[in-house]
Amino acid sequence: MDERVRQHAEVLVDHCADVQRGDMVQITASKHAEDLVVALYEALGERGARPSLSWSLPAASRAYARAMDAEDYTTKAHELAAMEETDVVFLVGGGPNPFETSDVPPEKAQAGSRAHQPILEERLGTQWVITTHPTAAGAQQAEMATPAYEEFVYNAVNKDWGEQSAFQAQMVELLDPADEVRVVSGDTTDLTMRVDGMRAINDDGDHNMPAGEVFTSPVPDSVEGEVYFDKPLMRQGNEIEGVSLTFEDGEVVDHAAEKNEDVLASILDTDDGARRLGELGIGMNRAIDRFTYNMLFDEKMGDTVHLAVGAAIDECVPEDSEFNDSAVHMDMIVDMSEDSYIEVDGDVVQRNGTFKFEDGFEA
């Protein structure tokens, strides 16, 4: 087996989840990720944990959803029962075709998510980790050769996380005590938001691998301005491109997209919280040096910030602050590599992708 696959499994089991003897561990993975599943089982065996596996089956899920009546969707009692007994969950992305479910009617996808809600809530109570195994399909999405894509993924994942955590801590120190953040990019993005009272979190791999961002939740009513998201995002097997949003008093008052605008609209209409921002994230993983059209990686890229409409993040919002509640959490990316800056309380902390604590920063 490729030694990098073993290292990936070690990072997941040791660093991310800190799996203990007797832990009940669930893995969901594509059959294309079998090598990583084998390496995970081996690492879990060494720690005396108990794994179980559910292959992700996009083609079967599509066939099922198309045959199923929307009103027949009900919570999967057997999956819920298993989740209630589970300590650790690994969700491994990297399927054969990210567009497999693109022709499932949206009302069925929504019925499916609603029925899944209790399982999602239970899963969020476990030590859960999302990661990706490099496959040919992932390489194609990234417009890269497969070996080059593998190298890219493992560079982002198999790194010294202690060192990365220390690097990111510098940004946390700037953001955590801050009152106001402003994100400016080209002529299309100029957004301000308040973050006072909110906690800034150092993502060094508890739930995402690769990790590599610093994130917080904005004060819901405080978001003002407009933002253009340069990079496409995948939603329910559909690619939404060229999204622009205008915020007033924290709420989306105008929206457009160059592709699949109807999908964007239906997401914003999910509930009240879906029209407000739940997260501001700043990418800081320098091993991620290009867009690969996979949110797990793109949002960690050093030259990006991302904003999520929908649910805020629990650990960022203190009890006495307003928490933006929603059934959705949709991350969208702004490319900050050119003609862009981030201001914290009026001070520029990043210009054209370079942080103030990095070499080459121009104040």
Partner 1 sequence: MDPRIESHAELLVDHCTDIGPGDMVGVNAPAVAEPLEVALYEKIGARGGIPVGLSLPARATRAFAEAIDADDLETSAHALAFLEACDVFIGIRGGENVAEMSGMDPEDMQAFAKVNEPLQDAQMNTDWVGTQYPAPGRAQKAEMGTDDYQDFVWNAIDKDWAEQREFQAQMAELLDAGDEVRIVAGDETDLRMRTGDNPVKNDDGRTNLPGGEVFTAPIPDSVEGTVCFDKPVLSQGREVRGASLELEDGEVVAHDADQHADVLAAALDTDDGARRVGELGIGMNRDIDRFTYNMLFDEKMGDTIHLALGRAYEDTVAEGNEQNRSAIHKDMIVDMSEDSYIEVDGEPVQRNGTFVFEDGFEDEP
Is the separation of the CB atoms in 263 and 238 below 8 Å?
A: yes
Q: Burial letters for 256-273: b for 16+ Cβ neighbours within 10 Å, e otherwise?
A: ebeebeebbebbbebeeb
Site string for partner 1, 77-96 (x = CB under 8 A): xxxxxxxxxx----------
Member of 18, 22, 289, 338 binding partner 1 (CB under 8 A): 22
Residue (85 or 163) nearer to partner 1, CB: 85
Residue ranges in 43-72 that form contacts with partner 1 under rule CB under 8 A: 43-46, 48, 50-55, 57, 59-61, 63-69, 72
Member of 12, 17, 40, 257 binding partner 1 (CB under 8 A): 40
Element (H, E) at 180: strand 180-185
Is the separation of the CB atoms in 242 and 289 below 8 Å?
A: no
Helix pair angle (34-46, 3-10), 10° resolution: 50
**112 is a contact residue toward partner 1 (CB under 8 A):** no
Question: What's the closest the beta carbon of residue 106 comes to partner 1, in angstroms?
Answer: 17
Of 24-32, 175-183, 264-272, 302-310, which part binds partner 1 (CB under 8 A)? 24-32
Residue (80 or 144) nearer to partner 1, CB: 80
Member of 37, 193, 284, 307 binding partner 1 (CB under 8 A): 37
Question: What's the closest the beta carbon of residue 61 comes to partner 1, in angstroms?
Answer: 7
Q: How far is Cα 32 from Cα 260, in angstroms, rounded to an integer?
A: 29
Residue for token digits 């593998």? 150
Element (H, E) at 184: strand 180-185
Residue ranges in 191-220 that form contacts with partner 1 under rule CB under 8 A: none
Is the separation of the CB atoms in 284 and 265 below 8 Å?
A: no
Q: How far is Cα 178 from Cα 349, in angstroms, rounded to an integer?
A: 12
Chain contacts with partner 1 (rule: CB under 8 A): 21-22, 24, 26, 31, 34, 37-46, 48, 50-55, 57, 59-61, 63-69, 72, 74, 76-86
